[in-house]
A and B are shown apart, each in its own frame.
Chain A
Amino acid sequence: MCNILKLLTEAADDITDPAPYLFDSDVTALRTFVRELVTQSIIPTMERNTATWNEQILSRRRGISGRFMSLSKRWTPFSSNRTSSSPTQSSSGSNYDSLQGFYRPDAPEALMRKLADYAFMLRDFKLALSTYDLLRTDFTNDKAWRHYAGAAEMAAVSALMNPAPLPTKSRTDTIDTWLEAASYSYATRCAAPYYALRTLTLGLELLRLRGGDAADDAARWAARVLDAGLVGPVGHALFTGRVGACFAARGGVGSMRWGARRRKAALWAVLAADAWLKLDKALQAEKSLDMARRLYGADGGLPLPFEGMQAFLGELRDAVLACRLAARGFEGEGEEGGEGGMVEEVSETLDRSPRGHRKSLIGAVGGPPLLDAGAMGPIRGADDEPGFRDDQFE
């Protein structure tokens, strides 16, 4: 069956798809060409450039005198005839053209940035990190904020791309500072929201992969994306979900999963569902909602320990179903019975549980449901949830 479908599909594709076709021999020729271009020309050239710049500029900068002086000052005597023609050269003798906002490509700072970027593209993250780090200080001295932000951004990313484990202290001391500095400089000093968003996104994704404490940091940066208003409505919903995913990436300790952030994750999933609903994206809202229920451990029809959230989840679920049915022009005809029945069944599970258990709950928390869940500390969250519930969903 699948094969037939595939054939039919491909036939249909062929008729209307405007994508051009190639002869196999052309494909082979092109693939050979690209491979040769990369392995015999581009990579060796980049390796050679990296080695040259490393030797000529970076090691001088790292030398005894280089440690005490920024590149600009050290090199100014030799480069003055190049830069003196520039009317905007600052009195400090820096190579930075602050009016036009760039370094000349032959300035040592520019070459070092190129060295760092080459190293990064060649996946030599150690060299990249040390170079970006040096550049950071030079750019601060020159008040080249956009360059500074760029160096801080890539320093943080290089450090996180390095597969070696990172001690908590250096992570909080350096990487957080760099991410903070980069996103602040990009967003506030340079009015470059795209780069600020890129910085935060790269940072949060790489931190999330490290798990543990780092996942908490990741969630913080994801929330920063939202707070800073860097994204539009779609991005808002996506990043809201991402905060939850970051919290969820933090596994707990031991069989009771102490220190896991399941409830925080669940709350953010609920918020994401809410955000999707506002955009009429019922499918996404439903996914988020399912995620929230799993995280709360309400998957199997068990009640939530706080009734406000339970009711809110129910409301959201109804809204999602209404939205989906509306979008599909569902008019409740007989032939759709199976579908309708299925829908009913699911919403009933949700409805039933709060009614059945609401009275017996101890958590008589007042106020809006969102605040309730927000106040849940991570320890309490782990404490409250019996282990067997966790076992179901991992």
Chain B
Amino acid sequence: MTPSQDASPFKPAQYADLQSSIVLPKRRQSPNSSIASLPYRRSNPSLSSLFASTASLPSSRPSSGTATPLAQAIPGSIFSPGPRANGTRSPANSSAGRPDEPRNLILRSFVPHVAIVASADTEEIVIAKGFTGGLLELLRPFGESVPGKVTIRDSVGASRSWEDFGIRFTGMTDGLGVPLVPGRRSTEVRPEGANGYRDGGRTSLNFSRTGGDIGQIEEAVDRHLQYSELQPHDLVSDYLNHQNEPSHTDSSTSPFYTLYLRRLLSGLPMTPHETFAHPVACIIAISSRNPSPIEELRRLYGSTNTGNHRLPQWVNNEFLRYYVLIHDEEHSDITKSNALFEQMKRHFGLHCHLLRLKSNQCIPSDDDSTKLPLCEWLSAAEELAEIQKRGIYPSSLRSEVLNNKLEAVVSPNGCVIY
């Protein structure tokens, strides 16, 4: 436990950038420095932070209490604080002593899904702020854990408060796994498609937010495994720490198993036989820049019933519609927006919200800047796409390593001895 706490302030990039001088000084002239200079780690802190954040979410980290030598082995990848923690919280505290870890993971994986339909002007504002994925990208991390306690009354009227309640923001047709072509009969979206084991998803970027593909889950976890094997954690510190590790228990959970579990439960496909991925509510968003806001809201509402946002006929369409007006703090007049908002409430009832956002792009050097937290519940396909996007092409990883003068060593030794 203590070793992993010690390791907690370390972030992956340290290992990437500083390992030669601080962590393992004697390595500098060794042939291994070629590994350190791989673009994979060295020039790519963002990639390592991705590996860190996807695998090391505070509340679902398997169990820091039962950390195996791996804790020291890949502090960057598994046990460092994700962006959510912003390095201020020791990751070991958050989940230590939570023996019922998989139960929490399950609790947090079957949560209400909320679809997002935004007007073009809304997406413009959000994209100008630097969120290329539009309103969904902006909202998604915030839905994963609702701040504060959420009180729920059960069927017999007893109330219970939960601190870990969350929702999943999705695109309207995300869970379908196959593109919903307008005009196509919705029933043609085969229920089997949602199963996604072999068809769809893999090539279509638009629908990579659907999970349910075992092959992709394997691939994503394998990517993390490869990364951890490549980390310059070393036999030395590994063994040293291993000797002092007091807290081994027999049932410790591998962080990679937890990752596998999480990816298995991420991006639940939309299918007729269960309704977890069916929207419980739909957010219909416009911005204060819209010239004819009420008409636009009506049009968007209509599109969820008959238009291209209409879900297949086996999805119950009577979900809540929630209307959001995004007020552009920089370019719009708040009194006008308030008036419009009052009008919205008159037309559409109480399920409305006025969301005030600055439309300028925030840059890291600004005083009051915060990095957008990374999503915990990425589908495996999304995670793979993210890894690719951040500069490493999956298949090239291994060959790159091998080409870097390791080949000669790897093959004659024949790692696999049976």
Contact = CB atoms under 8 A, between A and B. Distances in A.
Given A30-B142, A120-B110, A234-B221, A342 B239 contact: yes
A339 B234 contact: yes
Contacts of A31: 142, 147
Contact of B18 (A8, A105, A330): A8
Given A205-B102, A335-B30, A339-B235, A100 B195 contact: no
Nearest to A248: B250
Contacts of B371: 17, 19-22
Contacts of B242: 290
A248 B187 CA distance: 48
B106 A161 contact: yes
Contacts of B295: none
Given A17-B45, A21-B130, A114 B142 contact: no
A329 B406 contact: yes
B49 interface: yes
B209 interface: no
B410 A238 contact: no
A235 B106 contact: no
B368 A5 contact: no
A16 B46 contact: yes
Given A117-B275, A194-B195, A262 B322 contact: no
Interface residues of B, number: 146
Nearest to B365: A14
Contact of A42 (B45, B167, B273, B366): B167
A241 B366 contact: no
Nearest to B360: A23
DSSP class of A's interface residues: helix, strand, loop or mixed? helix
A14 B364 contact: yes
A220 interface: no
B409 interface: yes
A322 B218 CA distance: 25
A221 interface: no
A333 B222 contact: no
Given A43-B152, A161-B106, A117 B9 contact: no
B322 A146 contact: no
B92 to A, nearest CB: 14
Interface in B115-171: 129-131, 138-139, 142-143, 146-148, 150-155, 160, 162, 165, 167
A147 B274 CA distance: 7
Nearest to A144: B273
Given A31-B147, A123-B152, A343-B235, A283 B229 contact: yes
B228 to A, nearest CB: 6
A9 interface: yes
Contacts of A161: 103, 106-107
A292 B172 CA distance: 48
24 contacts: A9-B17, A12-B45, A16-B44, A21-B370, A23-B369, A23-B370, A29-B357, A31-B142, A34-B143, A38-B165, A38-B167, A39-B151, A41-B281, A51-B155, A123-B152, A147-B272, A150-B274, A193-B197, A234-B225, A283-B73, A322-B413, A327-B410, A343-B235, A394-B249
Given A123-B154, A198-B264, A335-B29, 20 more contacts: A10-B11, A16-B45, A16-B46, A19-B371, A19-B374, A22-B369, A45-B280, A46-B280, A101-B191, A123-B107, A123-B162, A124-B154, A147-B273, A191-B195, A234-B260, A245-B253, A327-B410, A329-B35, A346-B239, A393-B250
